[in-house]
Chain A
Amino acid sequence: MTARPRSAFAGARPAAFAAAAALAAALAAGCTSVTRVVTTAGAAAGVITPEQAESINKSAAAIEKSYEDITPEQEYYIGRAVAATVLVTYAPYDAPAANEYLNLLGQTLSLFGAAPETFGGYHFILLDTEEINAFSAPGGLVMISRGMVRLCGSEDELAAVLAHEIGHVENQHGLRAIKKGRLTSAVMTMLAEGGKSFGGAELAQLTEAFENCIGDIAGTLMNSGYARATEYEADASALAILRSAGYDPAALVGMLREMQKRWVPNGPGFGRTHPEPSDRIAEIQAQIGAAPAAAAPSVRVARFKEKMRGV
C-alpha cells in the first residue's frame, strides 16, 4: 500500500485527477458550457461517475447565478421598466432645448466612461420636481430633477452629476440591487427551457420575477438608497470620466458642497438615499486633493446658462 496524497482528490486515480484538473480549469475560466461538454464526455469515458458529473454541473450553474448573467438585452428591458416606474412618481419635464443639451452633455460624457456602449445606449431626461435628486436605470436611462439642475452653477457641475449617474450604470449598481433570491428564481425560470417562446404559466412566472427585480431596483433608487461604498464607487467613476473628458474633477466637490448646504438627513430626495455630502467630499479629496475647481471656460458657462434657462 503506497502513501496517497492528502487532498480533495485523495484516492482518485491519476486519470480522474487529470480530468478534475481540466474541469477546474474550465470552471475557473468561466467556460460553463465547456464544463457541460467535458463532464458529459468524462462520464461517458468512465473517468468520472455520472453523479460526479452532475454535481460539477450544478456547481457551475450556481456560479452562473449572479447579476452578471443578466444579458445586456435583459438589462435593457429591466432598465426600461425601472425608468418607467420612476416616471410614475416623478413626471418628465418637457423642455426640448434643455433635454437636448442634457443628452448632448451626457452622451458625450458617456464616451469617456468604462462602458460607452450599452445595449440601448445612454439617454437623459429632466424630471419636473423641485426635489434634489437624480436616478439611473440599468443600461443607461438617466433622470435628473430640475431641483438638481438648479443647484448646478455650471456645465462642469452638471457634468459631475451626470458622470456620477453614468458611474452607477457602468458598474451595474441597479442590477446589483436585485435581491439574491429573486435573481435565482428568475434565472432558474430562464434556464428552464431555451429557444422557444413562452406562454401562459411560464410567462406569468417570468413576469413576476421581472416585477420583483423592478421593485427591488426602483425601491433602492427612490427609497432605500445604495450602500455607502456603492455611492463612493460611482463617485470614483465620475472622477475618471470628468478627468478623461477634460472637465475639472473638483467640480464634483463643488456640487457636493451645494448639496451639503441643503442636506436634510432622511429628508426627501438625496437626503434619504445618499451618504452625507461631506463624507463623499472627504472620500473624493483623498483621491484628487483639496484644490478648488478651476474656473470653467466662459463658453461652457454661457452654453449651460442659455440651455438651462427657465429650468
Chain B
Amino acid sequence: MRSRMRWRASLALAALAAGACTAGAATMSVQVKSGQLRATPSFLGRVVAPLSYGDRVEILETKNPWMRVAGPRGQRGWVHGSALTEKKIAMASGSRDAQTGASSDELALASKGFNSDVEADFKAKHRNVDFTWVDRMEKWKAAPEAMQAFLKDGGLKPAEGGAR
C-alpha cells in the first residue's frame, strides 16, 4: 500500500515536471527593453502594440523566426523570436513581481545582478571611464522607413528578418 502511494507520488511528480516544461514552452518572456507586436511577421509590419521587458506572452503560432503571440493586455500580433526567451524574467528589484517571485531561483537570478546600481558603483570607482558616448550611441536608431528605403535603393532584399 505504502509502495503504491509512492508510485502515485512519483507519477504525479513526473507529470508535474513534464507539464511545467511544456507550459514553459507555450508562454515566453519579452527579453528586450522595448519590443513591438506587429500586424504581419516582418520588421516592416505595422506596430500593433508595444511590449515591455519581462512581459509574458502566450505563443499562438510560429512561423520561424516569427511568432504570433497574445500579449499581457490581450493584444495579438507578431514578434521576432529573438525578442523572446523561455526563461521567466523578474522585474527590477522592489517591483511587485520581484517581491512575489523572490522564492524562485530563476526569478531571483534575473532580479539581481548587473544592473543600474552596479553600473553607478562602477562609474564612481572608474571616473576615467566616460559613458557619455555610450548614452549617445544608444539614441542612434534608424527609422524603419529609412531602413526600408536603404534596402530598396541599394538593390538589396526586404527585411523580413532572420532568414537563416
For chain A, what secondary structure do more than half of its interface residues adopt (helix, strand, loop), or is it mixed?
helix
Closest to A214 in B: B122
Q: Does B74 contact A (CB under 8 A)?
A: no
Closest to A36 in B: B105
Given A18-B14, A111-B161, A116-B43: A193 and B6 interface contact (C-beta under 8 Å): no
Measured as residues with beta carbon below 8 angstroms from the partner, the interface class of chain A is 35 or more
Contact A240 B115 (CB under 8 A): no
Given A22-B14, A87-B130, A111-B161: A72 and B154 interface contact (C-beta under 8 Å): no
Interfacial residues of chain B within 96-152, with CB under 8 A of chain A in the complex: 98-99, 101-102, 104-119, 121-122, 125-126, 128-131, 133-134, 137-138, 140-142, 146-147, 150-151
Interfacial residues of chain A within 66-88, with CB under 8 A of chain B in the complex: 69-74, 76-78, 80-81, 83-85, 87-88
The docked-state distance in angstroms from the alpha carbon of A108 to that of B124 is 36
Contact B102 A194 (CB under 8 A): yes
- Using Cβ atoms and an 8 Å threshold, which residues of chain B touch A108? 142, 147, 150-151, 159
The docked-state distance in angstroms from the alpha carbon of A11 to that of B158 is 62
The docked-state distance in angstroms from the alpha carbon of A192 to that of B88 is 18
Contact B129 A84 (CB under 8 A): yes
Given A33-B104, A123-B140: A45 and B164 interface contact (C-beta under 8 Å): no
**What count of chain B residues pass the 8 Å CB interface test?**
80
Q: How many A-B residue pairs have C-beta atoms within 8 angstroms? Tell me.
A: 290
Closest to A25 in B: B17
Could you say which of B104, B140, B159, B162 contacts A99, with CB atoms under 8 Å apart?
B140
Binding site for B on A (CB under 8 A): 13-16, 18-19, 21-23, 25-26, 29-38, 41-42, 45-47, 61, 64, 69-74, 76-78, 80-81, 83-85, 87-88, 92, 99-100, 103-105, 107-108, 111-121, 123-125, 141, 155, 186-187, 189-198, 203-204, 206-207, 210-211, 213-214, 240, 244-247, 297, 299-300, 303
8 A-B pairs in the complex with CB atoms less than 8 angstroms apart: A18-B10, A35-B17, A73-B115, A87-B130, A88-B128, A121-B32, A197-B94, A245-B157
Binding site for A on B (CB under 8 A): 3, 6-7, 9-11, 13-14, 16-18, 20-21, 24, 31-33, 35, 43, 53, 80, 82-83, 85-90, 93-94, 98-99, 101-102, 104-119, 121-122, 125-126, 128-131, 133-134, 137-138, 140-142, 146-147, 150-151, 153-157, 159, 161-164
